[in-house]
Amino acid sequence: MTTNIAEIPVRKICCIGAGYVGGPTCSVLALNCPDIQVTVVDRNELRINQWNSENLPIYEPGLEEIVKQCRGKNLFFSTDMAPALKEADLIFISVNTPTKTFGLGKGRAADLKFVESCARLIAEVCDRSKIVVEKSTVPVRSAASIVNVLKANTKPGVSYQVLSNPEFLAEGTAVNDLKNPDRVLIGGEESEEGKKAISALSWVYRHWVSADKIIEMNTWSSELSKLAANAFLAQRISSINAISAVCEATGADVSEVAQAIGLDSRLGPKFLQASVGWGGSCFQKDILNLVYISESLNLTSVAAYWQQVIDMNEYQKSRFGERIVQSMFNTITDKRIAILGFAFKKNTGDTRESPAIHVAKHLLEEGAFLHIYDPKVEKAQILLDLDQLDEESGISIHTDPYEAAKGTHALVVCTEWDQFIVNTYDYQRMYDSMLKPAFVFDGRKILNHSALTKIGFHVETIGKRHGQSFQDHNWAGTNGI
């Protein structure tokens, strides 16, 4: 007899993929649902060992405390997939869906091979009905593919309901985003069985999320909402970055423009911080995915529209690198440059698609020597990102920002770490140890430029006219003319 999904109480959850999404999501779930046993499985033994150790594989404020509190009680990390899948009532698929690097859709389409192999594994080992939840960000209609793979391989008497439940956490604030989500989307089939599966997952979230924030919808809307949300967020940054270029050319200040725009209650103040460019594992991949889907559906104008959001980001990263070279008298060959910040944003050690990589490579190509400092990124990761085997070829990685600055011609801020702000660092000390003229290039517009100018730095920043602060500094002496 087929087990009815409605008869499945959610007592045990298994999550495949102990990455940036699966790890924090399941930790917060275990914290809020002491009546549910959560097992996170991953094929990567090192990663699982790290989750079981004192040094977690990812850094997220507040995460370590939660893991310590729940691990061994109702939160487990394991490489042994089959038993955890067999026992589970509900399975999250939280594996990565990278952009394809070969074949049809190369460079744009999402590679679903890991998601498909999870579906095959589930069908192979499970002998009772389950709810399978797609948490990985996937192209629209992926749930249908998971259903097909499951159906074609299911054991007799077993049935599956596949739900879409995209994750909206941002790195660096993952724990807070998970504890207090703006919304939880649950997409499922409109059948009776589908509705029951949606209710079961909804019940899990209701442990800590209020009912008005849990939104039920059809599977395709849920899948598309995730891609659309990331595309809109990236679009906002690309828009303000486009305006930053106009500011630099005209003398307007992008912070003032952003403030003016953000006060319009229809627009709101968030995601208007001009920068050296956006990075991270999701934006680029998800927009490329949206572009590819649109092209596949013959919606070429839609595809071109979203492609432009990516193109603007590439332009922004290149523009910043070029500005550094131009400002330093059109040559940085053999000059030493300190890069402050390598992560794609503050409060994370993640460097995926980090704009710092683009900038660093640009500077290396121009013949500079780089001194790189980031409070959270490991040396090996930086070298890997820059395609280097060791600290030869003009790169040295530092664990102390003052050591990184010593003997350099310029400081380049690529990540908006709080500690880079003037009151935290002694920029006078850095200035004294640098070659003159000493430059600061603020790719995040976070520093106190007038304080730096007063020290003697030549300051260049995103979204303000070339050398404006330098000129401001000179103008101060010509007061009254």
DSSP H or E stretch at residue 239? helix 219-250
> Is residue 284 marked as binding?
yes
Q: Does 233 bind ligand UDX (CB under 6 A)?
A: yes
Q: What is the largest CA-CA distance in the chain?
A: 92
Binding range to ligand UDX, per CB under 6 A, among 131-139, 193-201, 308-316, 360-368? 131-139
Q: Are the C-beta atoms of residues 407 and 237 closer than 8 Å to each other?
A: no
Q: Are the C-beta atoms of residues 243 and 274 closer than 8 Å to each other?
A: yes
Q: How far is the CB of 443 from ligand UDX (least distance, A)?
A: 9
Which residues in 250-279 contact ligand UDX (CB under 6 A)? Answer: 271-273, 275, 278-279
Candidates 237, 288, 412, 438; binder of ligand UDX (CB under 6 A) is 237
Nearer to ligand UDX, 135 or 335 (CB): 135
Candidates 89, 167, 366, 385; binder of ligand UDX (CB under 6 A) is 167
Q: Does 25 bind ligand UDX (CB under 6 A)?
A: no
The set of residues, in sequence order, having a beta carbon less than 8 Å from that of 376 and lying 6+ positions away, is 59, 343, 347, 348, 349
Q: Which residue in 298, 235, 229, 230 sits closest to 272, CA to CA?
A: 235
Which residues in 191-230 contact ligand UDX (CB under 6 A)? Answer: 230
Q: How far is the CB of 355 from ligand UDX (least distance, A)?
A: 7
Q: How far is the CB of 78 from ligand UDX (least distance, A)?
A: 11
Q: How far is the CB of 43 from ligand UDX (least distance, A)?
A: 4
Distance set, CA 304 to CA 33, 68, 290, 296 (Å): 44, 47, 10, 13
Start-to-end CA span in the chain (Å):
92
Please work out the total of residues on this chain that contact ligand UDX, with binding judged by CB under 6 A.
Answer: 40
Candidates 77, 160, 168, 439; binder of ligand UDX (CB under 6 A) is 168
Q: Are the C-beta atoms of residues 84 and 48 closer than 8 Å to each other?
A: no
Q: How far is the CB of 329 from ligand UDX (least distance, A)?
A: 29
Chain centroid, CA 9 distance in Å: 34
Candidates 95, 178, 370, 413; binder of ligand UDX (CB under 6 A) is 95
d(C-alpha 62, C-alpha 47), whole Å: 19
Closest-by-Cβ residue to ligand UDX is: 19
What are all long-range contacts of 115-120, with beta carbons under 8 Å and residues at least 24 apart? 115/142, 115/145, 115/146, 116/145, 116/146, 116/149, 118/16, 118/93, 119/93, 119/145, 119/146, 119/149, 119/150, 120/149, 120/153
Candidates 8, 13, 15, 17; binder of ligand UDX (CB under 6 A) is 17
The active-site residue out of 14, 70, 247, 282 is 282
DSSP H or E stretch at residue 305? helix 300-327
Instruction: Convert 273-290 to b/e letters by CB count within 10 Å (16 or more is b).
Output: bbbbbbbbbbbbbbbbbb
In sequence order, the β-bridge partners of residue 131 are 90, 161
Q: Does 281 bind ligand UDX (CB under 6 A)?
A: yes
Q: How far is the CB of 345 from ligand UDX (least distance, A)?
A: 4
Q: How far is the CB of 153 from ligand UDX (least distance, A)?
A: 16
Structure-token match 């679009």, residue found: 235
Candidates 77, 292, 320, 344; binder of ligand UDX (CB under 6 A) is 344
Specify whether 282 is catalytic.
yes
> Is residue 138 marked as binding?
no
Q: Does 171 bind ligand UDX (CB under 6 A)?
A: yes
> Is residue 285 marked as binding?
yes
Candidates 32, 94, 244, 351; binder of ligand UDX (CB under 6 A) is 94
Strands 439-442 and 458-461: parallel
What sign for the dihedral angle of Cα 194, 199, 205, 209?
positive
> Is residue 70 marked as binding?
no
Q: Does 328 bind ligand UDX (CB under 6 A)?
A: no
Nearer to ligand UDX, 244 or 408 (CB): 244
> Is residue 171 marked as binding?
yes
Q: Which residue in 118, 128, 124 sits closest to 87, CA to CA?
A: 128
Q: Please give the annotated binding residues for NAD(+), written as ranges.
A: 17-22, 42, 47, 95-99, 136-137, 171, 282-285, 352
Please report, as ranges, the residues that interact with ligand UDX according to CB under 6 A.
16-22, 42-44, 47, 94-97, 114, 117, 135-137, 167-171, 230, 233, 237, 271-273, 275, 278-283, 344-345
The binding site consists of: 17-22, 42, 47, 95-99, 136-137, 171, 282-285, 352
Residues with catalytic annotation?
282
